[in-house]
């Protein structure tokens, strides 16, 4: 029997991918897992992150009985996709910064990449830029503060506008920059605030729709959606539970990764 599609992130960022999946596959059963005990991933050591991501995903896959895993986290995907594909017997769909579509859209050939400290400096990201945006200038901006703001938003608070403005400011130094890649799944949750804080109009691109498209290709037998859906966390957090409920998830169960 087909199981749900499990969406995994360090925190609430994967909920932006849940929104894209619900638009493309409204009938599909989803499950959500996040490693909130170890958030944020973007400022942790790679050598520590790989076994941690693997342990949490293995525990969440077993607990959810899912048929596919969506790693809805750029920081995890640019590091641990191969490790996850080796240890899991189900399809694994990753999330990487949308450099390729951004390069296709930019007229000025100057892109901004807004992501976590880890993602902006990863060899995987450098390679993406080399492969798909070699003729572009790419201003890479580490914006870890936006992860916290997105977490606050889902917990029911308003984001702090001064923090958003400051995080975005390195993007505006060159008036030629015309396209911004949201290379962290937390950031699309803040999209309307980011647009408001931008001093001029640019094109904002995230990976949500592309991931949903890929999932629809990879997962052929979909379990039907019925009522509120399972969610899993790694540390008790009432506000997070309430936030997950607003996205259609049942009260989270605690995971115990090995």
Which residues line the annotated binding site? 9-10, 41-42, 74-75, 185-186
Name the helix (H) or strand (E) containing 233: strand 231-233
Question: Which of 147, 167, 171, 182 contacts ligand DGL by CB under 6 A?
Answer: 147
Between residue 18 and residue 37, which ones bind ligand DGL under the rule CB under 6 A? none
Q: SS3 of 96, please? A: coil
Least distance (Å) between residue 135 CB and ligand DGL:
26
Interaction between residue 10 and ligand DGL (CB under 6 A): yes
207 part of the interface to ligand DGL, by CB under 6 A:
no
Max CA pair span of the chain? 54
Q: How far is CA 237 from the centre of its chain?
A: 20
Q: Which two tokens stand for residue 218?
A: 């990879």
- Determine whether 66 is an active site residue: no
Return binding residues for substrate.
9-10, 41-42, 74-75, 185-186
Is residue 6 within 8 A of residue 69, CB to CB? The reply is yes
Dihedral sign for Cα atoms in the order 50, 7, 159, 168: positive
Options 42, 91, 94, 243; binder of ligand DGL; rule CB under 6 A = 42
Interacting span for ligand DGL (CB under 6 A) from 60-68, 71-79, 154-162, 212-220 = 71-79
CA 117, 123, 129, 135 dihedral sign is positive
Residue number with CB closer to ligand DGL (127 or 220): 127
Q: Are 221 and 2 in contact (CB under 8 A)?
A: yes
| Residue 73 known to be catalytic | yes
Closest CB 202 distance from ligand DGL, rounded Å? 20
Taking the CA atoms of residue 207, residue 236, residue 4 and residue 48 in that order, the dihedral angle to the nearest 10 degrees is: 60
Instruction: Mark the segment that binds ligand DGL (CB under 6 A) among 9-17, 58-66, 105-113, 216-224.
Output: 9-17
Residues that bind ligand DGL (CB under 6 A): 9-11, 13, 39-42, 73-75, 116, 119, 147, 184-186
């Amino acid at each position: 029997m087909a199981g749900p599609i499990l969406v995994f992130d360090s925190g609430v960022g994967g909920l932006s991918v849940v929104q894209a999946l619900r638009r493309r596959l409204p009938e599909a059963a989803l499950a959500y897992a996040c490693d909130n005990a170890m958030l944020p991933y973007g400022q942790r050591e790679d050598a520590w992150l790989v076994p941690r991501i693997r342990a949490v995903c293995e525990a969440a896959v077993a607990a959810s009985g899912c048929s596919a895993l969506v790693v809805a986290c750029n920081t995890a995907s640019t590091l641990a996709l191969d490790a996850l594909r080796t240890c899991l017997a189900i399809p694994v769909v990753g999330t990487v910064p949308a450099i390729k579509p951004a390069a296709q859209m930019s007229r000025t050939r100057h892109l901004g990449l807004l992501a976590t400290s880890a993602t902006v400096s990863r060899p995987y990201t450098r390679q993406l830029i080399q492969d798909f945006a070699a003729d572009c200038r790419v201003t890479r901006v580490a914006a870890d503060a936006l992860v916290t703001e997105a977490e606050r938003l889902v917990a029911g608070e308003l984001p702090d506008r001064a923090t958003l403005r400051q995080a975005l400011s390195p993007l505006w130094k060159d008036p030629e920059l015309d396209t911004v890649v949201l290379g962290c799944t937390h950031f699309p949750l803040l999209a309307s605030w980011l647009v408001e804080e931008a001093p001029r109009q640019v094109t904002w691109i995230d990976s949500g729709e592309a991931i949903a498209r890929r999932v629809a290709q990879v997962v052929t037998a979909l379990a039907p959606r019925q009522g509120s859906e399972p969610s899993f966390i790694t540390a008790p957090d009432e506000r997070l539970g309430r936030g997950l409920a607003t996205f259609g998830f049942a009260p989270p169960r605690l995971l115990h990764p090995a």
